[in-house]
Structure 1
Amino acid sequence: MKTYLEIFWHFLCLGFLSFGGPAAHIGYFNQRFVQKLGWLSQQEYGQIVALSQFLPGPGSSQVGFALGYRKAGVLGAFTAFIGFTLPSVALMIILALMSQAWLDSVYFFGIVHGLKLLAVVVVADAVLTMFSSFCPAHKTKSVAVLTATFLLVMPGIAPQMLVIGVAAFWGAKYLTNTTLTGEQDSTPQLNLAWLPFIAFGLLFVGLPMLSSSSVFAKIAADFYYAGSLVFGGGHVVLPLLQELLADSISTDTFLTGYAAAQAVPGPMFTLATFLGFHLAPQAPILGALTATFAIFLPGFLLMLAFLKHWQSIANIPKLSGAIQGVNAAVVGLLFSALYQPLFTSSVNSGQDMALVVLGFFLLKQVKVPIVYLVLGFAAGGALMVWT
């Protein structure tokens, strides 16, 4: 029980502090569980991040889910998910009840702006840390730099998937002499945990057949479908959800939910919480929880299918090389995300940049705990609005 409480507490704290989207969340996880707590090595963490890039679903939440799994199995994985997602879900339900009163507050958005500036600091730290760990050689450095260059010129989810695929192919061909995990497996076997994989497929096919039975079945089917087909963060799921729900929810309500999701910490996929609340007016809390669980579930089932055997799969020589290529590409992807959307949507003035520079110094050199930085940046954002 102590282990589960430890997992829940760490992820609950991060759930309150993790502003800035998937790239920032990966940075927060890296700082807490790799650098501070030592739950796993930088290389092992890189494998988890690489796996999350290959699978559909909420990437950063899948990483958190996998960290909980490594610490305490399936129950630990869901404990981590609940801890990390609970603050965002609770806030989204509150905002659904009081959306106009809160979303129209200048000081509320000032605080959010300050916390987005902190996310710039955290992602910058993650990029530097992961670059030194994942790009030790000239070849991997080149992959990271070329990835960042390409994605800065050609942003979007399709170019991201393309460059990760190319990096995996190139790594399988040219990076098989070294490995992230130690001794390579001379008898490669591609194993899966078939039960969650089969469950993923059955739900994908079966839920739409039940969608006409009740409003909650329809919510479950629509949000499970969205979570099954989307790679990346909540920004990517937006157009698919908007298309699926066009006949069920107004554009104003949808955009209000999107604004709320950007204003709270934790995973952007909790946009589903806000939308589910409004899709089931007769039982809004149940609708919110149904939508939330349904959109996260497919990504978690696929994570369970691959994660248990990912260590042995990763030791297959060509896959080991592919993972190294993907890890280097992920560093480039994080660097491009540091600029767009984080930097471009957060740093709007010299004051903003000054706060980022000061925060980076306090984090890296003074080693100020992240909770104090959160309080400081929130106060700074509110102060900038007030002045």
Structure 2
Amino acid sequence: MRNKKESRLRTWLEILLVSTRLGLTSFGGPIAHLGYFHEEYVRRRKWLDEKAYVDLVALCQFLPGPASSQVGIGIGIARGGIIGGIISFLGFTLPSVIALILFVLLLNTFSIEDAGWIEGLKIVAVVVVAHAVLGMAKNLTPDLKRKSIALLALIITLLWQTTFTQVGVILLAGVIGFLLYRNQTADDANTVNFPVSRRLGFICLSLFFALLVALPILRDITSNQWVAMMDSFYRSGALVFGGGHVVLPLLEREFVPTGWMTAQEFLAGYGAAQAVPGPLFTFAAYLGTVIKGWQGGLFATFAIFLPAFLLIIGTLPFWNALRTNPNIKGALIGINAGVVGILISALYNPIWTSSINRSVDFALAALLFSMLVYWKLPPWVVVLSGAVGGLLISYI
């Protein structure tokens, strides 16, 4: 019994060390993260075989939320149970959370409104989202029907800019995808077993939907700012399909129009989030720290990632049956196309309209875009170049 306990502790320590190293070095966004995970967990350590890894990635692409974080949680669960999943998440996420909290505390000693390098970080945000739009549009809207779904999503989200609109567009795109692509043939499923019971999975899924319904009601009843933060971050984390960049418009409309922070502060943090490794959802740590100090940063991180935890644990026992359903595959095709439209909308407003005001701003954006897309420079180099460029053009 003692040997078994020691073996479990060694396993958890190993998960922590490996995931923390990845959290300190994994730059480049979710696709790059999946590449790092494959190299470390499949090729080097052989914690999962190739088929199991592909199956897990497929599940996390299916779910809303941060796909790379959910894959990391799933690998931790496969290796060390539920606690292993929690440890894997903490190791991969905390480095960027701590970095962004420190970034806010540093900004408190300077004037954010007039900092030229902050303007440069805002232009970096334009470049990163533009790059995401191009890549996702190529992969997710290859035919005219999916391009039309993306166009419809773009028009709706530009004309009616509310939080409800984002959710409605995703649901509408899913319905259209179901009607147009419901006869999709199912792929052969690779099965993978995780130590999660169906009972626990059902409890997690029930809690996911219960919180989604109860938190807005509790927010109205209590008028408590912590409850309001929990509702805003939880809802944003629960309703994001397509990766971390799509959470930008959801979070912006939760916190900027309500007066919790300025658009300047919001976009400065988004630019800074590109400079740190790990998942983009850790942008919540920046927002929470701006609102409520470092305690708010940790609380916001917990709230925005909680849906990802509940969904990955809740669906693992049922995934093999779900992924062979052609109707669900059709709905996902439509949702992915709708995400492209939402991204284009976010690129224009608030990112472009708040960042590109002069010809010199566009020139810097073009240079940074070329560095990222054509010259293939690391993202942290692009971010630092944007900060320096913003400082230089502030004197023009």
TM-score if structure 1 supplies the norm length?
A: 0.69
Contact 1:167–1:325 (CA under 8 A) maintained in structure 2: yes
Partner residue, 2:328: 319
Q: Secondary structure at the match of 1:368?
A: coil
Deviation at 1:223, TM superposition (A): 3.6
Q: Residue deviations 1:308-331, cap 9 Å, x none?
A: 245642432111110111011111
Deviation at 1:344, TM superposition (A): 1.2
Matched, 1:354 2:363: yes
Q: Residue deviations 1:302-358, cap 9 Å, x none?
A: 333445245642432111110111011111111111111111111111111112222
Deviation at 1:168, TM superposition (A): 0.3
Partner residue, 2:70: 66
Partner residue, 1:129: 135
Partner residue, 2:254: 237
The partner residue of 1:269 within 278, 284, 298 is 284
The partner residue of 1:86 within 98, 116, 136 is 98
1:273 is aligned with what amino acid? T
2: CA distance, partners of 1:192 / 1:319: 23
Contact 2:20–2:91 (CA under 8 A) maintained in structure 1: yes
2: CA distance, partners of 1:103 / 1:312: 54
1: CA distance, partners of 2:172 / 2:68: 26
2: CA distance, partners of 1:319 / 1:191: 23
1: CA distance, partners of 2:379 / 2:256: 34
CA-based RMSD of the aligned residues comes to 4.0
2: CA distance, partners of 1:205 / 1:343: 33
Deviation at 1:91, TM superposition (A): 2.5
Matched, 1:377 2:393: no
Q: Residue deviations 1:156-195, cap 9 Å, x none?
A: 322222221111011112212336x72379xxxx998134
2:255 is aligned with what amino acid? L
2: CA distance, partners of 1:79 / 1:176: 40
Partner residue, 2:116: 110
Q: Percent identity?
A: 24
2: CA distance, partners of 1:35 / 1:134: 20
2: CA distance, partners of 1:192 / 1:136: 39
Deviation at 1:49, TM superposition (A): 5.6
Partner residue, 1:183: 188
Partner residue, 1:25: none
Q: Secondary structure at the match of 2:327?
A: helix
1: CA distance, partners of 2:139 / 2:56: 11
Matched, 1:303 2:311: yes
Contact 2:356–2:362 (CA under 8 A) maintained in structure 1: yes
Partner residue, 1:56: none
Structure 2: segments with no counterpart, 5+ residues: 1-12, 40-49, 78-84, 191-197, 240-246, 274-281
1: CA distance, partners of 2:29 / 2:357: 27
The partner residue of 2:162 within 156, 160, 164 is 156
2: CA distance, partners of 1:239 / 1:118: 20
Q: Secondary structure at the match of 1:88?
A: helix
2: CA distance, partners of 1:300 / 1:382: 37
Contact 1:168–1:326 (CA under 8 A) maintained in structure 2: yes
Contact 1:144–1:332 (CA under 8 A) maintained in structure 2: yes
2: CA distance, partners of 1:162 / 1:316: 23
Partner residue, 1:55: none
Q: Residues 102 and 368 of structure 1: is their aligned pair in 2 closer, same or farther, counting only changes over 3 Å? A: same
Q: Secondary structure at the match of 1:182?
A: coil
Q: Secondary structure at the match of 1:136?
A: coil
Q: How many residues align?
A: 329
Contact 1:172–1:318 (CA under 8 A) maintained in structure 2: yes
Q: Secondary structure at the match of 1:345?
A: helix
2:284 is aligned with what amino acid? F
Deviation at 1:289, TM superposition (A): 5.7
Counterparts of 1:133-282 in structure 2, within 5 Å, are 133-178=139-184, 182-183=187-188, 193-197=201-205, 221-230=227-236, 231=239, 232=247, 233-238=250-255, 254-255=260-261, 260-264=265-269, 265-266=272-273, 267-270=282-285, 271-277=287-293
Deviation at 1:366, TM superposition (A): 1.9
Q: Residues 343 and 10 of structure 1: is their aligned pair in 2 closer, same or farther, counting only changes over 3 Å? A: farther
Q: Residues 337 and 44 of structure 1: is their aligned pair in 2 closer, same or farther, counting only changes over 3 Å? A: farther
Q: Residues 160 and 292 of structure 1: is their aligned pair in 2 closer, same or farther, counting only changes over 3 Å? A: closer
Q: Residue deviations 1:256-297, cap 9 Å, x none?
A: 7x75454333344332234333xxxxxxx5x44663355335
TM-score if structure 2 supplies the norm length?
A: 0.68
Partner residue, 1:32: 32
Partner residue, 1:281: none
Q: Secondary structure at the match of 2:184?
A: coil
